[in-house]
Copies of this chain bind each other. A is one copy, B any other.
């Protein structure tokens, strides 16, 4: 067994998401691209690429990673490209989606050899987090003025619209899509493809997949467009755990257990969004606050109920640790960085990456 901490990606759990994605592709006609910003652990890309159409990206490095490691269809998007990188982006992409008319105008000619699109912002979103809400006031994410967009229609053949965020509610998705149809219908009818972005939790339990497929198909047929989905979290949800070991236990008014990891270094979104981790089954008579080992006072995974008293050396599996974790891990406090381990379909586990003191040293200079 590898030394903790490590991210454990379980292919059999990944497979159940992949099968739902394949089902949606088949029954809706939509194509599905992995959003690398959420998950970019390329050792499982050969497996995922059997079920998905390609990748979408948010930078030069992501588009290159998608092209080199995932293959198939490669979409390029970024909030802004630089003059220095645009050539390499275009070389590595099948489609490039610009965030603004000014970026489109700047690079349209250079990108004329590949498919070009523009991001639209419908100015409504499902996000309850201002930080993650692309429709927040003064958002820089996409164009919303139909008249301005009409003036550049000769340079694009499609749109990307991303305004769902951790949306597990089909009716809300349906309503969001209705807004888009109403607001941008005249534009949608003139293009060949529309990406609806990510943030739709259609691989979650009890999501009405057939209604979702029918809705996507109706949208596709209404405007005569190829629909794309860009699942990030939906692709890898519940596939991965962060495996940690208890290093110390304390009683400070509550029972605390300190583990060999840190939310800031290894599961950063828990800190940014002030959320709790998940531990299963979370039932029992022994409540503990599970804390990280960084110096941060608020380095707390959450409070959970355990079956037994926790002792130094015990192992804990932090659930649902694939999305936005490995892509954001960092060397805060020099805390040992989790290895990456893959559990194959036959149950064997293989370590695909370990990080050493030398990696820490060379992260700086």
Q: Report A's interface with B, CB cutoff 8 A.
A: 3, 36-37, 40-43, 57-62, 64-65, 69, 78-82, 84-85, 99-100, 102-103, 106, 127, 130-134, 136-141, 245, 247-250, 252-254, 256, 258, 260, 264, 268, 271-272, 289, 291-299, 312, 326-336, 340, 352-353, 357, 360-365
B84 touches A3 (CB 8 A): yes
The reply to whether A252 and B139 contact each other, CB–CB distance below 8 Å, is yes
A357 near B132 with CB under 8 A, answer no
Interchain nearest-CB distance for A44 vs B (Å): 10
If A59-B336, A264-B328 are given as contacts, then 16 extra A-B residue pairs at C-beta distance below 8 Å, sorted by A number, are A37-B332, A41-B364, A59-B293, A59-B334, A78-B293, A79-B258, A79-B293, A102-B249, A127-B297, A131-B297, A131-B298, A141-B295, A326-B364, A327-B330, A328-B332, A340-B364
A131 with B256: in contact, given A57-B334, A248-B100, A250-B140 (CB under 8 Å)? no
The CA-CA distance from A61 to B336 in the complex, in Å, is 7
In Å, the complex CA distance between A295 and B256 comes to 36
What are the 3 tightest A-B residue pairs by CB atom distance, in nearest-first order? A353-B365, A61-B334, A131-B298
> What chain B residues lie within 8 Å of A365 (beta carbons)?
41-43, 340, 352-353
Chain B residues with CB below 8 A from A260, complex form: 80, 82
Tell me the complex Cα distance, A123–B198, Å: 45
Contact B80 A258 (CB under 8 A): yes
Q: For residue A130, which residues in chain B have a CB less than 8 angstroms away from its CB?
A: 297-298
Taking CB atoms, residues of chain B closer than 8 Å to A138 are 252-254, 256, 289
Asked whether, in the complex, the Cβ of A131 is within 8 Å of the Cβ of B80, the reply is no
Q: Of B41, B248, B268, B352, which is within 8 A of A80 by CB? A: B248
A65 contact from B134, B326, B360, Cβ within 8 A: B360
Write the nearest CB–CB distance from A293 to chain B, whole angstroms: 5
Q: Would you give the shortest CB distance from A39 to chain B, in whole angstroms? A: 9
Q: How many copies does the complex hold?
A: 2
User: Are A293 and B80 touching (Cβ within 8 A)?
Assistant: yes
Task: Give 17 A-B contacts (CB < 8 Å), ordered by A residue.
Answer: A41-B364, A43-B364, A58-B294, A58-B333, A58-B334, A64-B357, A79-B248, A131-B298, A136-B298, A140-B256, A140-B258, A140-B291, A268-B330, A326-B364, A327-B330, A330-B330, A340-B364
- A62 to B292 alpha-carbon distance, docked (Å): 17
The answer on a CB contact under 8 Å between A103 and B59 is: no
| CB-based contact A132/B297 at 8 Å | yes
Rounded to whole Å, the gap between the CB of A196 and the closest CB of chain B is 15
B293 lies within 8 A of A247 (CB): no
Q: Which residue among A247, A272, A289 has the maximum number of chain B CB atoms within 10 Å of its CB?
A: A247
CA distance A37 to B332 in the complex (A): 7
A295 contacts across to B, CB distance below 8 A:
37, 58, 79, 141
A108 to chain B, nearest CB (A): 14
Select one of B3, B254, B296, B327 contacting A364, CB under 8 A. Answer: B327
B contact residues around A36 at 8 Å (CB): 334
* A336/B65 contact (C-beta < 8 A), A79-B295, A140-B250, A294-B79 known: no
Taking CB as reference atom, which chain B residue is nearest A198? B295
CB-based contact B42/A364 at 8 Å: yes
User: Which residues on the B side are within 8 Å of A353 (C-beta)?
Assistant: 362, 364-365
